[in-house]
A and B are shown apart, each in its own frame.
Chain A
Amino acid sequence: MTDTNDKTDTPPATQTDGRRWHDMGGLEGGPIVADDHDFALWEKRVDALQVITSTKGYFTVDGLRRCLEDMGPEAFETMSYYERWVVSVNQNLLESGVYSNTELGAKMAEVAARGLTYGDCAQDGDSGHDHD
């Protein structure tokens, strides 16, 4: 789109215009606040698992987005980016039949029993943030 004059900032009169919650273009929003953080190791792992499993054909980027969009605005407001991603990647892997809900539940119980922190439970050799 082209913009030559955007002095007005009027919100849409209605949001019952057929758009879904994630379709945010042109809606209201607060001020832009620059954030400057790198991602945690667990978040990079979620991203890496998405890249690996989608590259190997277990699901597509459309499947990833379908789950993210179906989570609805509440998830967008209350969960972090990679929290939403882990849910979506996991859901797509369940649907592809790589592992079952039963296997996931058993594994999560096993992981939780290992300790209190991510470092303990992920069984990473050290408590550092990098893998090298």
Chain B
Amino acid sequence: MPHDHDHDHNHDVPHSHEGMSSSGHPYRADQDQPLTYWQNMEIAMRELLIEKGVTTELEVMHTIDQMDSRSPADGAKVVARAWCDPDFRARLMADASEASREMGFDIGALKLIAVENTADIHNVIVCTLCSCYPRNLLGFPPDWYKQRAYRARVVKTPRAVLREFGLELPDDVTVRVHDSTADMRYIVIPARPQGTENLDETALAALVSRDSMIGVARAASPE
């Protein structure tokens, strides 16, 4: 099978680091490029849905605002709470959807499962069939999560894949790879770093990256 073209060839798109998006990424140039067939289809579909009364311009904007407001900072708050509050941690491990709702996050009908990293076990998540991801707590998935290389390889050679992310695991640590579905998704609760006994929840949350909640990194150590 050929490799994924997206993967290897879209890094030469020039971008300035001025004008980052709300999520801290550079914007893709789109509005000023010639209209593509698929962009045309989006416009047509949206206008037809509005004309037919299925949705409104406002509802589309509101939905995008909601998507943009979700970021890994949400998941990081859940992780930091679990590190600080043993009762919350127990509820999170029993039912991550319900525990996240308790903190005010909209999880929808999704069954969310928290998997916890320890000294002996390292968890990593994937969706081998498509791109299922705990969006409600982490926002949009990174591109590599949706592409062939990660999906194909992480279930077979996870240690090699993790090494590519700069994460070298000792041989005596068991690696568990969790394959998501549309209705059942995972979030990794990274191990609490050493030397953080005196940090409060806010300071702890700042150590929890997106990648650490996917399982391709550890939580950061304090400065």
Given contacts A9-B160, A15-B1, A80-B6, contact A29 B52 (CB under 8 A): no
Question: How many B residues touch the partner, as a band?
Answer: 35 or more
| 17 extra interface residue pairs, beta carbon distance < 8 Å, beyond A29-B148, A35-B143, A45-B46 | A4-B175, A5-B171, A9-B156, A22-B130, A26-B128, A31-B164, A42-B30, A43-B30, A49-B45, A49-B49, A49-B60, A61-B182, A76-B148, A83-B38, A99-B49, A104-B45, A132-B65
Chain A 1-34 interface mask (CB, 8 Å, partner B; 1/0): 1111110110000010000001111111111111
Cβ-defined partner of B148 (8 Å) among A24, A49, A58: A24
Please, could you name 13 A-B residue pairs with CB atoms under 8 Å apart, sorted by A? A1-B155, A3-B176, A8-B157, A25-B126, A29-B4, A36-B26, A38-B26, A44-B64, A53-B55, A65-B182, A81-B146, A87-B41, A121-B43
Given contacts A41-B31, A49-B60, A77-B5, contact A29 B151 (CB under 8 A): yes
CB proximity to B under 8 Å, residues A81-132? 81-83, 86-87, 89-90, 93, 98-99, 103-104, 107-108, 110-112, 115-122, 124, 127-132
B6: chain A residues at CB < 8 Å are 35, 80-81
Cβ-defined partner of A52 (8 Å) among B3, B7, B59: B59
Q: For residue B15, which residue of chain A has the nearest CB? A: A37
Q: For residue B108, which residue of chain A has the nearest CB? A: A55
Whole-angstrom CA separation of A24 from B47 in the bound complex: 36
Question: How many A residues touch the partner, as a band?
Answer: 35 or more
CB proximity to B under 8 Å, residues A52-83? 52-53, 56, 58, 61-62, 65, 68, 73, 76-83
CB proximity to A under 8 Å, residues B147-201? 148-153, 155-161, 164-165, 171, 174-177, 179, 182-183
Given contacts A32-B164, A35-B11, contact A58 B38 (CB under 8 A): no
Q: How far is the CB of A35 from chain B (nearest CB, A)?
A: 4
Given contacts A108-B40, A118-B33, contact A49 B46 (CB under 8 A): yes
Q: How far is the CB of A105 from chain B (nearest CB, A)?
A: 9
